[in-house]
């Protein structure tokens, strides 16, 4: 008897293919990067208990881990956010050490540098972006090894003051795979010096895309502003990729300044997407070219600009840096690149040509002198979260030009990205236990319509999209207008979504995002704690 | 022979169904359900939220709502009454008379429309400024597509 193996082999092949595809899908329950993925969607697409409205009210702290007290040059607290893979939580602390924690218990698996080694801190400290390790990590594979990559200052190189570089470590052991050369230069400590480099990686979390790692370079709290750059290094070796160059002003070699890349770089297709900071900051003339205060699409291989969107011209630049990064959304109306500027306006662009789809609150763009708008150093600084056609973010709101710019600091808006302007605003909520002060909210994240966000009073709040849970009520779309006057004054009622959980933790969560991995919330605070919560 | 061919096909089919089912259970819906929400219920059935603006507007006449932002009352030494006031005029109405307790400078903060001082009219939009002498009648009309909001800096000289 002759057996025919061919059908069995075909079956086996198909089975392996499908299982591997499925395995890949399930692995996405991890949280591999700041804002989840290279598109920076801040969205966990897989259904878990965290996206089940019936289970979320049962959310509770399962473990807490407190980082060791800082040594010389360090600062207590987490400004970075956790990333998660294979039940290991990775995060850097203000004390200048990077930790891997057991996802079940919070026990330290390893730390880098090892105990007794100098901390990764800088001597130029002026705001939390320069406190130890403020940049969130990203997880990847390097030559078949699970690896974690993060940015940090390192006094062992350059002028030994704390130049920033990238570190790639074995994710299981913490062993070094590579260390990049200096990426952000710190060549002196003289306040205001224009002859020293005061560059900083700060909050710009690195992202791996194809064979490169991308990270943005900004400055040390505008003291003074530096030339914004994006640097790409080889994923395999950490060597700087000289074929990729991007500088925000003038040429990379000249002395023009500004356009810091404060926010995480996003990547999709053949491009990377960045947002940039201001360029004016006392400069007598506008640099040329001036790519500051812009959302920009770059060729991922060369760094060449494909398009640039600059809503605030130089003449109106009062430092409304783009502090939130770009999110690349796959929606029913195509690929949309979206972000909110520090001035409170959210802008959505068609990803292909970079043409503006809408702005909220509605506005004529570019802004012009005398148009009644103001663009200063205000605090709409957090990235948004994307869920299908929905984008959730801080925003100045419909009263932005009426009441002044600060009113929305504790408010989340959800937008219908593809809808007509009349239906743009999906819902609106003043997040409970957010004070309304300048830094009130952290970065929101979302999983299948449940939004998670931290507040400045140390609360973690879970909010349900009204398509999942009936709203707690309806309120006027303009936060200045009472319900009684809403329709009379020409506004609409919009849902105020239900709050499913509101849990008091310890320490502010205004730089941090809740990582939603494997049905658990991992969140860090400036109170120096990492928490794991689950329903 | 027939069985030998059918069996692997069944296994293949089973594997496909299993994997697809596993995938569906594993992954959430990326886009489904994220279109615009249904329209709010009619007012009589609508549950309103408890939210109240910190400094809300009060309707002072049909189509006009105001709020006081800042006031300096006159004293014996400084007899000037100074008031900063926000005004909101509803859309789609005839021009609304604006009561003023003195001379005023206006700044349009949102929307567009027409300001009529006495018999003289001018188009106004966000960013526009204009002034009104004490005693001059002022009417404002908002365009039909939205309200117009203004900030008035009113000074009454004794």
**pLDDT for residue A192:** 95
Closest to B47 (Cβ–Cβ): which among A372, A473, A481?
A: A473
**Chain A hits for B25, Cβ within 8 Å:** 47
State yes or no: pLDDT of B71 exceeds 90.
yes
State yes or no: pLDDT of A313 exceeds 80.
yes
CA dihedral in degrees (B59, B65, B67, B71; nearest 10)? -100
Interchain CB distance below 8 Å, A471 and B56: no
Lowest mean pLDDT among A288-292, A387-391, B91-95, B114-118: B91-95
Closest to B48 (Cβ–Cβ): which among A21, A399, A483?
A: A483
- A110: β partners: A100
Q: Which of B29, B20, B25 minimizes the C-alpha distance to A447?
A: B29
**Chain A hits for B148, Cβ within 8 Å:** none
**How far is residue A428's CA from residue A475's CA, in Å, rounded to a whole number?**
8
**pLDDT for residue B128:** 95
**How far is residue A25's CA from residue A175's CA, in Å, rounded to a whole number?**
28
Interchain CB distance below 8 Å, A466 and B30: no
Q: Which of A332, A346, A328, A477 minimizes the C-alpha distance to B34?
A: A332
**Contact by Cβ (8 Å): A205, A224:** no
pLDDT in tens, A451-491: 999 999 999 999 999 999 999 999 999 999 999 999 999 99
| Backbone phi, psi, residue A16, to 5° | -65, -45
Residue A27: pLDDT band (50, 70, 90) is: very low
Interchain CB distance below 8 Å, A474 and B149: no
**pLDDT for residue B87:** 98
Q: How far is B52 from chain A (nearest CA, A)?
A: 6
Helix (H) or strand (E) holding A244: none
Q: How far is B77 from chain A (nearest CA, A)?
A: 32
Interchain CB distance below 8 Å, B142 and A430: no
Indicate the length of chain A as a whole number: 535
Closest to B127 (Cβ–Cβ): which among A371, A387, A494?
A: A371
Interchain CB distance below 8 Å, A475 and B51: yes
> In percent, how much of chain A has pLDDT > 70?
95
Q: How far is A488 from chain B (nearest CA, A)?
A: 6
Helix (H) or strand (E) holding A9: helix A6-27
**Chain A hits for B5, Cβ within 8 Å:** 7
Longest dimension (CA), chain B: 113
Interchain CB distance below 8 Å, A489 and B50: no
**Chain B hits for A447, Cβ within 8 Å:** 28
**How far is residue A168's CA from residue A217's CA, in Å, rounded to a whole number?**
18
Closest to A7 (Cβ–Cβ): which among B8, B33, B109?
A: B8
For the residues B8-28, what does the mean pLDDT come to? 53
**How far is residue A469's CA from residue A448's CA, in Å, rounded to a whole number?**
12
Q: Is the peptide bond before A366 cis (omega within 30 degrees of 0)?
A: yes
**pLDDT for residue B28:** 46
Interchain CB distance below 8 Å, B30 and A388: yes
**pLDDT for residue B29:** 43
Q: How far is A450 from chain B (nearest CA, A)?
A: 12
Place of tokens 């959505």: A348
**Chain B hits for A39, Cβ within 8 Å:** none
Lowest mean pLDDT among A55-69, A339-353, A422-436, B41-55: B41-55
Interchain CB distance below 8 Å, A490 and B146: yes
- Give all strands (DSSP E) within A136-189, no chain letters: 138-142, 145-154, 163-170, 176-179
Q: Residues 6 or more apart from A473 whose CB is under 8 A from it?
A: A495, A496, B47, B48, B49, B50, B51
Closest to B19 (Cβ–Cβ): which among A22, A419, A467?
A: A22
Coil vs helix vs strand at A371: coil
pLDDT in tens, A362-406: 999 999 999 999 999 999 999 999 999 999 999 999 999 998 899
CA–centroid distance for A322 within its chain? 12
**Contact by Cβ (8 Å): A449, A471:** no
**pLDDT for residue A105:** 98
**pLDDT for residue A24:** 46
**pLDDT for residue A28:** 63
Determine the residue of chain B that is closest to A427 in CA distance. Answer: B37
Q: Which of A325, A354, A348, A350 minimizes the C-alpha distance to A335?
A: A350
Closest to B51 (Cβ–Cβ): which among A401, A426, A496?
A: A496
ipTM value for the complex = 0.86
Determine the residue of chain A that is closest to B88 in CA distance. Answer: A489
Interchain CB distance below 8 Å, A22 and B90: no
What is the C-alpha end-to-end distance of chain A, expressed in Å? 58
Q: How far is A371 from chain B (nearest CA, A)?
A: 4
Coil vs helix vs strand at B145: coil
DSSP letter at A196? S
State yes or no: pLDDT of A308 exceeds 50.
yes
| Backbone phi, psi, residue A162, to 5° | 125, 45
**Chain B hits for A389, Cβ within 8 Å:** 31, 34-35
Closest to B46 (Cβ–Cβ): which among A29, A448, A474?
A: A474
**pLDDT for residue B126:** 94
Buried b (16+ CB within 10 A) or exposed e, A231-242: bbbebeebebbe
Place of tokens 């640039």: A308
**How far is residue A159's CA from residue A84's CA, in Å, rounded to a whole number?**
34
**pLDDT for residue A382:** 97
Q: Superfamily assignment of B58-156 in CATH?
A: Jelly Rolls (2.60.120.10)
State yes or no: pLDDT of A495 exceeds 90.
yes
Interchain CB distance below 8 Å, A372 and B16: no
**Chain A hits for B28, Cβ within 8 Å:** 45-47, 51, 447-448
Interface contacts (A, B; CB < 8 Å): 173
Interchain CB distance below 8 Å, B33 and A7: no
**Chain B hits for A333, Cβ within 8 Å:** none
**The two three-digit tokens of residue A106, written as one number:** 């919070």
- Please give the domain boundaries of chain A with CATH numbers for all domains: 28-534 (2.140.10.10)
Q: Residues 6 or more apart from A455 whose CB is under 8 A from it?
A: A410, A431, A432, A433, A434, A435, A440, A441, A442, A461, A508, A509, A510
Q: Is the peptide bond before A271 cis (omega within 30 degrees of 0)?
A: no
- A522: β partners: A515, A532
The CA–CA distances, whole Å, from A522 to A61, A205, A206, A518, B33 equal 10, 17, 20, 10, 27
Angle A451-A99-A455 from CA coordinates, rounded to 5°:
30
User: For testing the chain A interface, which of B6, B36, B63 should be mutated: the one with the most A CBs within 10 Å?
Assistant: B36
The CA–CA distances, whole Å, from A102 to A50, A64, A84, A524 equal 20, 11, 10, 15
User: For testing the chain B interface, which of A14, A333, A370, A485 should be mutated: the one with the most B CBs within 10 Å?
Assistant: A485
Residue B157: pLDDT band (50, 70, 90) is: confident
**How far is residue A183's CA from residue A226's CA, in Å, rounded to a whole number?**
13
Closest to B36 (Cβ–Cβ): which among A46, A401, A426?
A: A426
Q: How far is A231 from chain B (nearest CA, A)?
A: 32
**pLDDT for residue A5:** 53
Interchain CB distance below 8 Å, A496 and B49: yes
Per the model's pLDDT, the better-predicted residue between B13 and B6 turns out to be: B13
**How far is residue B42's CA from residue B26's CA, in Å, rounded to a whole number?**
39
- pTM, full prediction: 0.93
State yes or no: pLDDT of B1 exceeds 50.
no
């Amino acid at each position: 008897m002759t057996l025919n193996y061919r059908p069995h082999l075909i079956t086996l092949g198909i089975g392996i293919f499908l299982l591997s595809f499925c395995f890949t899908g399930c692995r996405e329950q991890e949280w591999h990067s700041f804002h989840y993925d290279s598109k920076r969607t801040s969205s966990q697409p897989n259904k878990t208990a965290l996206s089940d409205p019936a289970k979320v009210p049962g959310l509770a702290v399962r473990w807490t881990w407190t980082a060791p007290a800082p040594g010389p040059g360090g600062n207590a607290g987490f400004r970075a956010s956790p990333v998660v893979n294979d039940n290991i939580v990775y995060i850097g602390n203000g004390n200048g050490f990077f930790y891997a924690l057991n996802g079940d218990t919070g026990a330290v698996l390893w730390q880098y540098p090892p105990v007794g080694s100098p901390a990764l801190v800088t001597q130029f400290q002026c705001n939390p972006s320069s406190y130890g390790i403020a940049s969130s990590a990203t997880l990847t594979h390097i030559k078949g090894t699970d690896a974690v990559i993060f940015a940090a200052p390192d006094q062992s190189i350059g002028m030994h003051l704390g130049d920033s570089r990238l570190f790639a470590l074995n994710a299981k052991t913490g062993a070094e795979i590579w260390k990049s050369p200096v990426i952000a230069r710190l060549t002196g400590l003289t306040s205001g010096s224009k002859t020293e480099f005061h560059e900083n990686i700060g909050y710009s979390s690195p992202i791996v895309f194809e064979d490169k790692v991308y990270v943005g370079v900004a400055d040390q709290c505008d003291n003074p502003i530096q030339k914004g750059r994006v640097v790409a290094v080889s994923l395999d070796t950490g060597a700087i990729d000289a074929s990729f160059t991007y500088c925000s002003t003038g040429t990379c070699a000249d002395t023009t300044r500004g356009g810091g890349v404060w926010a995480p770089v996003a990547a999709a297709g053949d491009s990377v997407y960045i947002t940039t900071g201001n360029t004016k900051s006392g400069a007598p003339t506008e640099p040329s070219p001036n790519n500051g205060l812009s959302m920009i699409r770059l060729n991922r291989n060369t760094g060449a600009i494909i398009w640039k969107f600059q809503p605030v011209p130089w003449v109106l630049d009062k430092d409304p840096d783009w502090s939130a990064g770009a999110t690349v959304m796959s929606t029913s109306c195509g690929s949309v690149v979206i972000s909110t500027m520090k001035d409170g306006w959210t802008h959505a662009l068609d990803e292909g040509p970079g043409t503006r789809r809408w702005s909220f609150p509605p506005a004529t763009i570019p802004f012009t002198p005398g148009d009644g708008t103001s663009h200063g150093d205000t605090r709409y600084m957090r990235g948004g979260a994307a869920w299908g056609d929905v984008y959730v973010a801080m925003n100045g709101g419909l009263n932005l030009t009426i009441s002044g710019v600060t009113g929305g600091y504790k408010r989340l808006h959800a937008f219908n990205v593809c809808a007509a302007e009349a239906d743009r605003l999906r819902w609106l909520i003043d997040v409970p236990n957010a004070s309304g002060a300048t830094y009130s909210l952290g970065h929101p994240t979302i999983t299948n319509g449940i939004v998670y966000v931290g507040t400045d009073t140390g609360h973690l709040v879970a909010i349900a999209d009204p398509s999942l849970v009936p709203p707690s009520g309806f309120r006027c779309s303009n936060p200045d207008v009472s319900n009684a006057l809403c329709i009379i004054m020409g506004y609409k009622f919009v849902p105020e979504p239900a709050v499913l959980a509101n849990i008091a933790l310890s320490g502010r969560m205004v730089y941090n995002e809740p990582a939603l991995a494997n049905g658990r919330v991992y969140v860090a605070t400036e109170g120096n704690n990492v928490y794991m919560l689950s329903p | 022979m027939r069985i030998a061919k059918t069996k692997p096909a069944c296994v293949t089919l089973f594997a496909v169904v299993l994997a697809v089912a596993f995938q569906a259970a594993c992954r959430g819906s990326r886009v489904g359900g994220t279109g615009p929400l249904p329209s709010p219920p009619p007012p009589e059935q609508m549950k309103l939220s408890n939210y109240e603006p910190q400094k809300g507007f009060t309707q002072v006449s049909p189509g006009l709502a105001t709020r006081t932002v800042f006031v300096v009352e006159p004293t014996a030494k400084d007899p000037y009454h100074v008031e900063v006031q926000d005004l909101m005029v509803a859309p789609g109405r005839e021009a609304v008379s604006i009561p003023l307790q003195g001379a005023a400078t206006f700044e349009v903060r949102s929307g567009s429309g027409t300001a009529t001082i006495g018999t003289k009219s001018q188009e106004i939009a966000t960013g526009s400024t204009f002034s009104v002498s004490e005693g001059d009648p002022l009417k404002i009309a908002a365009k039909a597509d939205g309200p117009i909001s203004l900030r008035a800096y009113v000074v009454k000289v004794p």
